[in-house]
Amino acid sequence: MRELTDQPDERVKLYIKFIEARTDGIHQTVRRAPDQHPGADIHNFLEEFTRLTDELADNFDAYEQQHVDVRKSLKFFAEHSAKWPAILNEPPSSPEYDFARKTAQEALDSARKTGAELLKEQEVYFAKHKTPKT
C-alpha cells in the first residue's frame, strides 16, 4: 500500500481487491458443511472486511481534502461495492458473527455514501477547474 501512496486510483483498486478477497472468503465459507464450524472464519472475514472498508473510506476523506482526482476509481468502487451487501447477508444468522456482520454493513453503507458524495463533489470541482489542453 505504501508504494501506491502517490497513485490514488491504483490504491483504491488494491483496497477493492483486498475487500473482494474477504467477500470471496465469506462466500466460500458459507458453502462449507456446518460440521466444519465456519462461524469463526465468517466472523474473521467480516471483521477484516470492516477494517479494510473503513480504511478505504478514510482514504476517500483524504482525497477529498487534497482535491485528488479519483473519479475513475470511485466509479469502479461503486460498481464493485454494489454486490457486497448480498454477500454480507449470505451467511445464516448466528450469534457468532451477527454483530460483526452488522458492523460490516454499517461500514459499507458509510463508505458507499462517502464515495457517492465525493464523486458528485469531484464532478463539480473538476468541471470548474479543468486544465486547458495545449
Cell readout for 55 is: 480504511
The pLDDT assigned to 31 comes to 86
Distance CA 104, CA 120 (A): 24
pLDDT in tens, 107-129: 999 999 999 999 999 999 888 87
Q: Across the chain, how many H-helices and E-strands are there?
A: 5, 0
Least confident of 8-12, 16-20, 43-47, 57-61: 8-12
| CB 7, CB 23: distance < 8 Å | no
For the chain, state the CA radius of gyration: 17
